Structure 1
Amino acid sequence: MTVLVISGTNTDIGKTVVTAAVAALARAAGRRVVVLKPAQTGVGPGEDGDAQVAVRLAGEEVAAVELARFPEPLAPATAASRAGMVPVTPRDVADAARKLATEYDLVLVEGAGGLLVRLDSEGGTLADAARLLDAPVLVVAAPALGTLNLVQLTGEALRARGLTPLGVVVGSWPEAPGLAERCNVPELADMAGAPLLGAVPEGAGALDPVRFRELAGQWLAPELGGEWDVEVFAERVR
């Protein structure tokens, strides 16, 4: 796997922190890693975007590339239009990822919001970029009530486009999960049509970066370079 696309089922669910954890484990395994953020919105000049946050957590050896930055916190197509700026297209994303794949062992393409959020005025999406790349997609989901519907819709959208859902990672697992969170755990894989590959604890992004890298392997399954075990986790939160 040279290129991995990371998409959320929604926004603000821990996608960047999951990206950082995947990057940290790949770097610890000796791989050259780059985080590619096609379109960063809602961040001003000189401020850290998602790619820079991921690198801060994963380690300075990980590189960050941002194709475009739009000032308003909106979907990329809308943010680009309102700013009078050129949007990023799926072809732009695919071309950039292919070029980076000649220099790095792993390219992590972190989307904006959900899988079908529009990148440009033609309706291009992260799913279209993944299809051009023929890349697997890691889905980051929330644990709370309502997530099963979003996970199933995302899985169906991937399969309808001939894309492979690599698995699902819970982006922000609460310290004291409620009934809905605990009941959702055994359902997520079925809804996605792909395995549950991890659960990153709530607040992990606020950890000291060194501590973050030390713990990342406990949050992600072996398929992502960690030692997290879905059966042990499911039993613990039952």
Structure 2
Amino acid sequence: MSDRPGGIVVVTGTGTDVGKTVVTAALAAVALAGGVRTAVLKPAQTGVGPGDPGDADTVAALVPGVTVRELARYPDPLAPATAARRVGRAPVTPHDAAAAARELAGDHELVLVEGAGGLLVRFDDDGGTLADVAGLLGAPVVVVAAAGLGTLNHTALTVEALHARGLACAGVVVGAWPDTPDLAAQCNLADLPAATGVPLLGALPAGLGAAPPERFGIVACHTLGPSPLRRWQDAGS
């Protein structure tokens, strides 16, 4: 097996505001630090107006040198299907997202596809979801989880939904580890792998998204290690 991660990896969350964008940026930073040509795809951005920075812009600011692409944005902070319908615009379908990811994979060694909200949030009114994108691509999925009480159930449900669809889970990342973790958060570090049956790839410190790029890259590499996706690949081989 190559020392470099490769292909396409989908990043989802157990819900909103769990740190998907920061985790996506951190995985990109680790890959770029290892000399891996990396792109990040945001199929549908919601809750952001024209000219305002979205998640892809956040990744680009945190990780100089990464390629970013956003397919569509809708102003209302809603599920992509609902947000597109409200403004009378065409939604981004799973097939659209998969095609864009494959195109980026033509000249990048790693493509990270960041979803909106959780795994089963609808992209379109036909019921397409990020799980369908991963299925079309045959891509493993990284699950971003919260640190505290309740995360075991939410994360286990997400991983179970992946497995029920025949999709591989590359592991879990805690998106925002608090400065002073409570008892539940501390116990969850050990309990998440047991509850989900997949590796815990790391826990990023809360507030990391506000760090300057150089500091962000250093912390990402220190926290996730030199090749978090390789560790998952090794575990499955």
Task: After TM superposition, give the deviation of residue 190 of structure 1 in Å.
Answer: 2.1
| SS across alignment from 2:170 | strand
Q: Distance in 1 between matches of 2:215 and 2:226?
A: 20
Counterpart pick for 1:51 among 24, 40, 56: 56
Give the match for residue 132 of structure 1: 136
Aligned-partner residue type, residue 10 of structure 1: G
Task: After TM superposition, give the deviation of residue 132 of structure 1 in Å.
Answer: 0.5
Range with bigger deviation, 179-188 or 118-127 = 179-188
TM-score by length of 2: 0.92
The answer on 1:174 being equivalent to 2:174 is: no
The answer on 1:141 being equivalent to 2:142 is: no
Counterpart pick for 2:202 among 193, 198, 212: 198
- Structure 1 residues 165 and 101: CA distance shift in structure 2, 3 A: same
**What CA deviation, in whole Å up to 9, does each residue of 1:78-115 have, x standing for no partner?**
00000111001111111111111001111100000100
Q: Distance in 2 between matches of 1:220 and 1:226?
A: 11
Conserved? CA contact 2:34–2:226, under 8 Å: no
Conserved? CA contact 1:42–1:73, under 8 Å: yes
Q: Distance in 1 between matches of 2:116 and 2:82?
A: 12
Across the aligned residues of Structure 1 and Structure 2, the Cα RMSD in angstroms comes to: 1.4
TM-score by length of 1: 0.92
- Paired residue total: 226
- Structure 1 residues 64 and 38: CA distance shift in structure 2, 3 A: same
Structure 2 unaligned blocks of 5 or more: 1-5, 232-237
Structure 1 unaligned blocks of 5 or more: 228-238
Q: Distance in 2 between matches of 1:218 and 1:4?
A: 21
Q: Distance in 1 between matches of 2:156 and 2:83?
A: 28
Alignment of 1:1-238 (within 5 A): 1-59=6-64, 61-224=65-228
Identity among equivalent positions (%) equals: 60
Aligned-partner residue type, residue 5 of structure 1: V
Aligned-partner residue type, residue 123 of structure 2: L
- Structure 1 residues 225 and 165: CA distance shift in structure 2, 3 A: closer
